[in-house]
Amino acid sequence: MAEVVTTLAGAIASARSARREDGPVPRGMPEDVLAAAAESLGPPDVPADGIGADAALRRLATMLAEYGLDLAHPRAAAHLQPPPLTVAVAADTLASAGNASLDTYDSGPSAIAVERWVVRSLTRLAGLGERADGVLTPGGSMSNLLGLLLARDTAGLARGIDVRRSGVGALRRPVVFCSELAHFSVHRACAALGLGEQAVQPVAVDEHHRMRPEALAAALRGLGDDRTPVAIIATAGSTDFGSVDPLPELAEIAAEHAVWLHVDAAYGFGALFSERLSERLAGLELADSVTVDLHKLGWQPAATSALLVADANAFSALERTVSYLNPADDSEAGYDGLLGRSLQTTRRPDAIKVAASLLAHGRAGLGRMVDVCHELAVHAQRRIAAEPELELISPAELTTVVFRYGGGAHADPDHLDRINSDLRRRLLESGVALIGRTTVRGTRPDDAERVCVKFTLLNQTATAGDIDELIDRVLLAGRACARRTEEGAA
Amino acid sequence: MAEVVTTLAGAIASARSARREDGPVPRGMPEDVLAAAAESLGPPDVPADGIGADAALRRLATMLAEYGLDLAHPRAAAHLQPPPLTVAVAADTLASAGNASLDTYDSGPSAIAVERWVVRSLTRLAGLGERADGVLTPGGSMSNLLGLLLARDTAGLARGIDVRRSGVGALRRPVVFCSELAHFSVHRACAALGLGEQAVQPVAVDEHHRMRPEALAAALRGLGDDRTPVAIIATAGSTDFGSVDPLPELAEIAAEHAVWLHVDAAYGFGALFSERLSERLAGLELADSVTVDLHKLGWQPAATSALLVADANAFSALERTVSYLNPADDSEAGYDGLLGRSLQTTRRPDAIKVAASLLAHGRAGLGRMVDVCHELAVHAQRRIAAEPELELISPAELTTVVFRYGGGAHADPDHLDRINSDLRRRLLESGVALIGRTTVRGTRPDDAERVCVKFTLLNQTATAGDIDELIDRVLLAGRACARRTEEGAA
């Protein structure tokens, strides 16, 4: 373990000398990065002989620093991908070095204790009751999949069908409700779980990008007898807008129809650290299951996701006794692992970095980081609203702002689509700034989807001045792209 | 990043002073570990205020060292869980610190290049052709699930059914063939994917624990018209025995019936590093998909699994275009991420540690480690065979040996079951040694399942002397448990 530190220190020195100063992403095109990687790593074959740990690590560290993404750069503002906390990175090294696994007691006794502590701390923060439980997963998409799996099997059991044994073919046509803006991982999970994507029934949102409860209630009432409602998926922090579905109203409808309520709080959960923003998650405590991504508003290295459940019995769909892992007499004697909470067997103890971060910074420290990023987003929103060349599309609910270059009423909307996608690409290719891009449909029924750009602000060391400079770069790039588009049209 | 090293160094000093000398696991009962964790971490609640990074990390490092599993200890011999390579742990820290993700180009440009390099190197080592591709996953169970998902959707398409859209309800009763000894993750994957566990049709094994090809062929021939054969799952390295199913024969049967052949080589793949053992994997190149776990015979920290596929088009079942991640014009311009190869969205670059390890040690270095562990297993096998108090159940195919204490014909087999489970528990509770346990059915049809113990040897720094001492400890514990059982019976 001490060797690790020596080896690392050498690699870090190489990485530092290779680090770019000019922006968060490498200048140039993807093929340039692939060429650099090919030069650094050699032909794509396991080499016959090794070059030793120090040389190998220096080579990788240099290449990663020179051609990688620098999330600590103040102009990295594209995705829900934070610069991670120092304490979390160091604790993650303890996890790698120890190589404990969480499936059985004897594959990681203390790591299991740490995960239990982290899960319990998170269920309490969520306001779930004493029967709550949870498990860490390799990402928000997997947490959503796992939540939907538990919902699916619970819905089957309620109808006398053991879906785990018999398969979903035995279920009447399954239906999963979610808002039009729900994360695409819901659709993917339905496909993976054998429900089919056609099971997804999208529910309309209001002008604040929140699911309309009355539309959900109507959809449930109108469901034919040949359909099995599997789950309602609420979103607490949509990826683009940070909008939170009206959880108390949705929970009431779910309870009335006895349908599982899963809340995808992958992005929004971190708001609970902030005294100022936690109110936005009111109603989360009414969920049957919750997705939490602490590698978003929690500053952990990926992946640090969790699925929390209101009732530990929900995991019974995953229970399994395996003679070489968890024989019954071991479980009876208290030698329990966490195999029965996960689709994974070997499982990395991602909880170690979470425990270290919660202890190191506390709720107050993490709350301050959330507030700082929210304030950066509010600052960006004000500046965008004040800029005549920019159109604010969606205000800062959490830490994102969606906007559009050149949104004047006179401009051709297709031209503007082109300009907005070009300006983001121009910033990316020049390497000076990394911003997000998405499409947004207007509020009228016939409105088309329009290309917009987006800031996702998760760097708590960035300043209002950095945001201003970022917006200045967007304006410059926008003007250049507008000129080019006009020349092309002329 | 330099801060990480400083913070780590402090934590490691604490961990070193807390490290146990006497054995690989903490002495005592699980509740002692939970109590120690509770004392170290405090009540299970996010603390209001933090104690700082250094203090938090020291607290965790101390607790993990004192109450955790020490895989570098020569008497840690229970699971397929190696002490990880220094270069891999250090490279994993680069991954955590950079926090790149593999889903989109702009979430990790150089990390994506590294994964492409690693995947290509592994497909070549497996002997798959130029159309091969692959993806890293969070573990062997997930790789098996993903392979079976691709098989399921391919089988559907061959019958004109888009399973991804319509769900498995549209398939005629699905069947998945695997050996009786296939890993339980196959059953779990069938349940998760909506096929149901009843889809699993186990095929008999021979006396060397390998699937009988003629039994498989007969099962396929006997399949009714109302059944859809989804996949044949071969095992290359069974968990307990290291046995490898006859891949060339199975591939021939799969081709004849046009059924997907998935090879679960989670454990066995690493044999390809060894010149001496690689022949055992002959036929692997005929698979449609392969599970590889480099956190087993590859000395990586978990999770470092991969699913390899013979034809990159197999991933089309997972393709997805998302406006905020991979708009079509980005993909056309070469700004491609790896979203379409995975059920995950944010995905940690586990390939970085693999690339570092392959470069550092080469095939020769990793092959030597495989050979050393195999030789340790052969040494254990010989000693066990020579010990009158022990019965060798299964020889060392790869790096495991299964045996039984007190296997004399005169002994009551139920008593012996009890003694064998007790002796493993006794070693575990005393903390002096960690060995595996499993059940094995005899070769005659009426034979009952019997409790056995097992060594899984993945510590290449252990010596033959260490193995002898481990066996001595087993003998001592076995005698003590036998005495106690006899006294109880008397």
Find residues 173-232 of chain B whose CB sits inside 8 Å of chain A. Answer: 173-174, 183-185, 188-199
Query: SS in 3 state form for A55-106?
Result: HHHHHHHHHHHHHCCCCCCCCEECCCCCCCCHHHHHHHHHHHHHCCCCCCHH
Instruction: Find the farthest-apart pair of alpha carbons in chain A and give their distance in angstroms, rounded.
Output: 80
Q: What are phi and psi of B323, to 5 degrees?
A: -60, -35
Tell me how far apart the alpha carbons of residues A15 and A9 are, in angstroms, rounded to a whole number.
10
Q: Closest Cα partner for A359 from B147, B124, B43, B34?
A: B43
Contact B207, B445 (CB under 8 A): no
Q: Closest Cα partner for B10 from B63, B77, B61, B65?
A: B61
pLDDT at B326: 80
Nearest CA in chain B to A454: B324
Contact A395, A381 (CB under 8 A): yes
Q: What are phi and psi of B451, to 5 degrees?
A: -70, 130
Q: How many CB pairs under 8 A join A and B?
A: 557
Give the architecture-level CATH label for domain A101-348: 3-Layer(aba) Sandwich (3.40)
How close A185 gets to chain B, by Cα (Å)? 8
Contact B170, B224 (CB under 8 A): no
Asked if B345 and A139 come within 8 Å (Cβ–Cβ), the reply is: yes
pLDDT at A412: 87
Please state, as a whole number, how many other Cβ atoms lie within 10 Å of the Cβ of residue B20. Answer: 16
Q: Where are the alpha helices (DSSP H) in B42-139?
A: 53-67, 86-98, 109-126
Sign of CA dihedral A29, B304, A100, A142: positive
Which residues make Cβ contacts (< 8 Å) with residue A13, sequence separation at least 6?
A: none
Asked if B98 and A46 come within 8 Å (Cβ–Cβ), the reply is: no
pLDDT at B332: 83
pLDDT at A327: 82
DSSP output for B14-49? HHHHH--SS-SS-SS-HHHHHHHHHHHH-SSS--SS
Secondary-structure breakdown of chain B: helix, strand, coil percentages, each rounded to the nearest 5:
50, 15, 35
Using DSSP's 3-state secondary structure scheme, residue A454 falls into strand
Q: What is the mean pLDDT of residues A186-215?
A: 97
Cα-based distances in Å from B456 to A109, B160, B325, B459: 18, 45, 43, 9
Tell me how far apart the alpha carbons of residues A343 and A146 are, in angstroms, rounded to a whole number.
8
Burial class (CB within 10 angstroms; exposed 0-12, middle 13-18, buried 19+) of B439: middle
Tell me how far apart the alpha carbons of residues B299 and A432 are, in angstroms, rounded to a whole number.
39
Tell me the pLDDT of chain A averaged across its residues: 94
Sign of CA dihedral A243, A247, A253, A255: positive
Contact B15, A1 (CB under 8 A): yes
Chain B residues with beta carbon closer than 8 angstroms to that of A196: 163-170
Chain A residues with beta carbon closer than 8 angstroms to that of B193: 192-194
Domain boundaries, chain A: 1-70, 101-348, 362-488
Tell me how far apart the alpha carbons of residues B232 and A411 are, in angstroms, rounded to a whole number.
59
Pairwise pLDDT comparison (A331 vs A106), residue with the higher score: A106
Q: Closest Cα partner for A326 from A341, A314, A311, A313?
A: A341
Contact A186, A422 (CB under 8 A): no
Share of chain A above pLDDT 70, in %: 98
Say yes or no to pLDDT of A321 above 80: no
pLDDT at A407: 60
Q: What is the ipTM of this complex?
A: 0.96
Find residues 398-417 of chain B whose CB sits inside 8 Å of chain A. Answer: none
Find residues 428-467 of chain A whose CB sits inside 8 Å of chain B. Answer: 428, 434, 436-439, 449, 454
Using DSSP's 3-state secondary structure scheme, residue B392 falls into strand
Specify which residues A402 forms β-bridges with. Answer: A394, A454
Put simply, whether B61 touches A (Cβ < 8 Å) is yes
Across the beta sheet with B400-405, what order do the strands follow? B76-77, B434-441, B449-456, B400-405, B390-394
Say yes or no to pLDDT of A166 above 80: yes
pLDDT at A409: 56
Residuewise pLDDT in 10s, chain B (490 residues): 778 888 888 888 888 887 787 899 998 888 988 898 889 999 999 999 999 999 999 999 999 999 999 999 999 999 999 999 999 999 999 999 999 999 999 999 999 999 999 999 999 999 999 999 999 999 999 999 999 999 999 999 888 999 999 999 888 899 999 999 999 999 999 999 999 999 999 999 999 999 999 999 999 999 999 999 999 999 999 999 999 999 999 999 999 999 999 999 999 999 999 999 999 999 999 999 999 999 999 999 999 999 999 999 999 877 777 777 788 888 888 888 999 999 999 999 999 999 999 999 999 999 999 999 999 999 999 999 999 999 999 999 999 999 999 965 567 888 999 999 999 999 999 999 999 999 998 777 778 899 999 999 999 999 999 999 999 999 999 999 999 887 876 6
Nearest CA in chain B to A63: B110
pLDDT at B79: 96
Put simply, whether B144 touches A (Cβ < 8 Å) is no
Sign of CA dihedral A203, A206, A211, A212: negative
Sole residue written with tokens 């994507």: A197
Tell me how far apart the alpha carbons of residues A184 and A404 are, in angstroms, rounded to a whole number.
23
Please state, as a whole number, how many other Cβ atoms lie within 10 Å of the Cβ of residue A157. Answer: 14
Q: What are phi and psi of B79, to 5 degrees?
A: -125, 170
Q: Closest Cα partner for B107 from B327, B311, B263, B337?
A: B337
pLDDT tens profile A449-467: 999 999 999 999 999 999 9
Tell me how far apart the alpha carbons of residues B232 and B180 are, in angstroms, rounded to a whole number.
12
Using DSSP's 3-state secondary structure scheme, residue A218 falls into helix
Tell me which of A405-414, A471-480, B168-177, B473-482 is least confident. Answer: A405-414
How close B255 gets to chain A, by Cα (Å)? 26
Q: What is the DSSP letter of B263?
A: E
pLDDT at A117: 97
The helix (H) or strand (E) run that includes residue A403 is: strand A400-405
Asked if A93 and B95 come within 8 Å (Cβ–Cβ), the reply is: no
Sign of CA dihedral A368, A372, A375, A381: negative
- CB neighbour burial string for B152-174, b if at least 16 within 10 angstroms, e if fewer: bbbbbeeeebbbbebbbbbbebb
**Does the bond joining A303 to the residue before it have cis omega, within 30 degrees of 0?**
yes
Sole residue written with tokens 């503002």: A77
pLDDT at B124: 98
Chain A residues with beta carbon closer than 8 angstroms to that of B116: 34, 37, 44
Using DSSP's 3-state secondary structure scheme, residue B383 falls into helix
Tell me how far apart the alpha carbons of residues B377 and B277 are, in angstroms, rounded to a whole number.
13
pLDDT at B407: 60
Which residues make Cβ contacts (< 8 Å) with residue A139, sequence separation at least 6?
A: A293, A295, A302, A303, A305, B344, B345, B346, B347
Q: Closest Cα partner for A439 from B376, B135, B76, B330?
A: B330
Which residues make Cβ contacts (< 8 Å) with residue B411, sequence separation at least 6?
A: none
Q: Which of B42, B45, B141 sits opposite A344 (nearest CB)?
A: B141
Pairwise pLDDT comparison (A368 vs B489), residue with the higher score: A368
Q: Closest Cα partner for A29 from B351, B109, B338?
A: B109
Find residues 268-287 of chain B whose CB sits inside 8 Å of chain A. Answer: 273
Asked if A169 and B196 come within 8 Å (Cβ–Cβ), the reply is: yes
Token couple for B198: 């009843």
Asked if A69 and B193 come within 8 Å (Cβ–Cβ), the reply is: no
Asked if B301 and A99 come within 8 Å (Cβ–Cβ), the reply is: yes
Specify which residues B177 forms β-bridges with. Answer: B201, B232
Tell me how far apart the alpha carbons of residues B312 and B68 are, in angstroms, rounded to a whole number.
41
pLDDT at B19: 77
Contact A59, B357 (CB under 8 A): no
Chain A residues with beta carbon closer than 8 angstroms to that of B327: 421, 437, 439
Sole residue written with tokens 């004109």: B160
Chain B residues with beta carbon closer than 8 angstroms to that of A130: none
Q: What are phi and psi of B179, to 5 degrees?
A: -75, 160
Contact A289, A314 (CB under 8 A): yes
Token couple for A233: 């998926």
pLDDT tens profile A87-146: 999 999 999 999 999 999 999 999 999 999 999 999 999 999 999 999 999 999 999 999
Asked if B45 and A124 come within 8 Å (Cβ–Cβ), the reply is: yes
How close A404 gets to chain B, by Cα (Å)? 14
What topology is assigned to A362-488 in CATH? Aspartate Aminotransferase, domain 1 (3.90.1150)
Specify which residues B174 forms β-bridges with. Answer: B228
Tell me which of A399-413, A430-444, B30-44, B181-195 is least confident. Answer: A399-413
Instruction: Tell me the one-letter amino acid at A47.
Output: P
Chain B residues with beta carbon closer than 8 angstroms to that of A191: 163-165
